[in-house]
Amino acid sequence: MIFEIALLEVRKGQELEFESSFRQAQAIISSMPGYLGHELNRCIEHDNQYALIVRWETVEHHEVGFRKSPQYQEWRKLLHHFYDPFPTVLHYRAVAGAGSLVAL
């Protein structure tokens, strides 16, 4: 399992509209092969910043299966116009912590 982590900066004043659109968009991502779960977290210190964490079986499920799918175009249409600047998305694997399979 890998984690896709995107730090999202939403244009100020559009937070509630973004959250509403995200509620629609999450049905898209959750239907994709290799999808294992997600959470959207809103920053306490900066109301317009969010952390999106998506769990995938592999990076390829995200980068190829989702991003190259027709469904991704709908995801983009629902969400991408809220971001300024456009977010960097990186992938991580667990090395320690609760639920980690890796022993240090």
First to last CA, the chain: 18
pLDDT digits (tens, 9 = 90+) for 15-36: 999 999 999 999 999 999 999 9
Residue 69's domain spans which residues? 2-92
Strand order in the sheet with 89-92: 35-42, 49-56, 2-9, 89-92
- For 69, residues 6+ apart whose C-beta sits below 8 A from its C-beta are 32
pLDDT digits (tens, 9 = 90+) for 42-80: 999 999 999 999 999 999 999 999 999 999 999 999 999
Domain assignment of residue 40, yes or no: yes
What CATH number does residue 85 fall under? Answer: 3.30.70.100
Three-state DSSP at 65 gives helix
Q: How many structural domains is the chain composed of?
A: 1
**What is the pTM for the complete model shown?**
0.91
Q: Name the E strands within 10-83.
A: 35-42, 49-56
